[in-house]
Amino acid sequence: MTTTIRKILIANRGEIAVRIARACRDAGITSAAVYSDPDRMASHVRVADEAYGLGGTTSAETYLRQDKIIETAHKCGAEAIHPGYGFLAENHEFAALCRDNGLIFIGPPPEVIALLGDKIQARRMAEKAGLPVVPGSIQNVDQIDTARSEAYGIGYPVLIKAAAGGGGKGMRIVNDPEGLGAALSTAASEAGSAFGDRRVYIEKYIPRPRHIEVQILGDAHGNVIHLGERECSIQRRHQKVIEESPSVIVDDAMRAEMGEAAVALAKEAGYIGAGTVEFLVDENKKFYFLEVNTRLQVEHPVTEMVTGLDLVQEQFRIARGKKLSVRQKDIDRRGHAIECRIYAEDASAGFIPCTGHLSAYQEPSGPGVRVDSGFLDGDDVPVYYDPLIAKLIVWGSDRTQAIQRMRRALNEYVIQGIETTIPFGRLVMGSESFQSGRLSTHFIEDEFSDLAESLSQTDGDILMAAMTAALVDYRLQLRLLAVSRRARSEENPWKISGRQAGLRTRWTR
């Protein structure tokens, strides 16, 4: 029994809303965007077929307002809601609210989201499905005695993690028994204030893990397949910034093993939809279950480039109650794909967000290059939301070609007006360690002890930049001179310029 979907409301913004609107267009489905006041001119509003204002500015006033979104869906006649990632994507209450309102939530059933969203429950289920997990407790260890005996059993160093966690919050590395008590209470309190849930648990700390994840798809007919892995080890603030597929350390046997593990867990959980099973991989290539993301990932395009599948269109199929378009044996992986996330962040200042006006913006293109962007020339990057401008994804017949094409595309990409992670992407692509595939989640700290310094070293063009400033200034002077000559003015433009220099006020960094 399959349903027809004629219109989808996209409960998101930025590049992922644009991505979903494009998939709607490809599928012949009408897309309806929603927007906050500062997003009226945003790309997702312009690219969608329809657009409805939510009224308000912050995420809490707009993209997180379940009532407004449901109401808009009803008003515009959408049958389904795509939540993208972030915002309401992993909110099981919202998924349930959609169902209660006769709307299709494009994602797993609320019960599955709730189950896998709880790290302790997800870990228990992974164990049940036979997945290797990081040695540790699967219970709440808020009592110091329990914690002590757990940690003793696991062996130091250990990691305290929040049950409801994410983004490194409520997480502490403990190297010896002395530090345990203090770490336990600060982690619990941090988890309490960040997630409203003080529960924490203890795991073996794996020193230099790789972050490797497996893309899964499950339909309502019990079919679950995996599309191979993505390596997402390069992270800042525990958040991914560069991803690729395949991983240099994953061979066919390991891919099959990880894939089967991911599928086993998904089947155990009754998974329906697109999702990702995340693993940590230690220095001996042993992998451990980490968590499940019950949604489309930011980095899904690298899997699309390698498999040729359109994951958002697969989500649409699944939501309509249809079977997956492919079986496991049909999955034909080809070549190598890399994604660099282009954030409005200054990597040389600790990846600090930079908002502002895109005074010039020009995307790269050509063979093997895809840009999933949420911005257009002349847009402003607002302060209220995630600073992701675009994702630059390249494909090459092998990893070397993919790296070369990424370097070319990063070189062509013009973003003027704000700092971005483009120079950082260049630095990584040019580094011997990335090229030889020596990755871990500590990649940035390990490779660049002083990132600002490394970035400025790659910056051999300061002389050229200085020369350009001199030339542009000189050109301006010549033009002023020509104008003043034409006007037969007595005033010498060099003087004017000198005076202007004297009026110089403050210089901001």
Q: Which residues are catalytic?
A: 295
Total of residues contacting another protein (CB under 8 A): 76
> In sequence order, which residues have a C-beta less than 8 Å from that of residue 42 and are 6 or more positions away?
13, 14, 35, 374, 375, 379
Which one of a second copy, another protein, none is in contact with 450 (Cβ closer than 5 to 8 A by kind)? another protein
Please check whether residue 52 is in contact with residue 76, taking contact to mean a CB–CB distance below 8 angstroms: yes
Q: Provide the 3-class DSSP secondary structure of residue 207.
A: coil
Q: Which stretch binds a second copy (CB under 8 A): 19-27, 63-71, 420-428, 491-499?
A: 19-27
x/- mask, another protein, residues 478-497, rule CB under 8 A, reads x---------------x--x
Please count the helices (runs of H) and the strands (runs of E) in the chain: 18, 22
User: Quick one: what does residue 107 bind among another protein, a second copy, none, with the CB cut-off 5 to 8 Å set by partner type?
Assistant: none
Per CB under 8 A, 70 contacts a second copy: no
> At which residue do the structure tokens 């050509």 appear?
366
DSSP code of 284? T
What string marks each residue from 335 to 364 as x (binds a second copy by CB under 8 A) or -?
Answer: x--------------------------xx-
Cα 402 to Cα 339: distance, rounded to the nearest angstrom = 10
* Contact with another protein (CB under 8 A) among 7, 25, 27, 76: 76
Least CB distance from residue 481 to a second copy, whole Å? 24
> Is residue 28 a contact point for another protein (CB under 8 A)?
no
346 vs 344: CA distance, rounded Å: 7
Is 22 a binder of a second copy (CB under 8 A)?
yes
- What gap in Å lies between CA 453 and CA 199, rounded to an integer? 40
Binding to another protein by CB under 8 A, coded x per residue (else -) over 310-339, reads ------------------------------
465 binds another protein per the rule CB under 8 A: yes
Binding status of residue 47 toward a second copy by CB under 8 A? yes
The region of 130-138, 147-155, 311-319, 455-463 touching another protein under the rule CB under 8 A is: 455-463
Q: Which of 304, 339, 346, 419 binds a second copy (CB under 8 A)?
A: 304
* Rounded distance between C-alpha atoms, residue 417 and residue 419, angstroms: 7
Helix (H) / strand (E) element for 337: namely: strand 336-343
Binding to a second copy (CB under 8 A) within 371-410 occurs at: 371-373, 376-377, 395, 397, 401, 404-405, 407-408
Answer yes or no whether residue 6 interacts with another protein by CB under 8 A: no
Nearer to a second copy, 190 or 314 (CB): 314
Cite the DSSP H helix spans in 35-169.
43-47, 66-76, 92-100, 110-117, 119-128, 144-154
Helix (H, G, I), strand (E, B) or coil at 120: helix
Q: Which does 76 bind (CB under 5 to 8 A by kind): another protein, a second copy, none?
A: another protein
- Pick the stretch among 111-119, 137-145, 274-282, 365-373 that binds a second copy (CB under 8 A): 365-373
d(Cα 296, Cα 397) in Å, to the nearest integer?
Answer: 25
| Pairwise CA distance, residues 351 & 343, whole Å | 9
Peptide bond into 246 cis (omega under 30): yes
**Residue 185 to residue 142: CA distance in whole angstroms:** 8
* Identity of the residue, 249 or 480, whose beta carbon is nearer to another protein in the bound complex: 480
CB 101, min distance to another protein, A: 19
CA distance 107 to 218: 10
Residue 209's binding partner out of a second copy, another protein, none, with CB under 5 to 8 Å set by partner kind: none
If binding is defined by CB under 8 A, does position 458 make contact with another protein? yes
Q: Does 369 bind a second copy (CB under 8 A)?
A: yes
Reference 243, options 173, 286, 298, 183; nearest CA is: 298
Classified as helix, coil or strand, 421 is coil
* Whole-number CA gyration radius for the chain: 25
Task: Point out which residues bind a second copy (CB under 8 A).
Answer: 18-19, 22-23, 25-28, 47, 301, 304, 308-310, 332, 334-335, 362-363, 365-373, 376-377, 395, 397, 401, 404-405, 407-408, 411-412
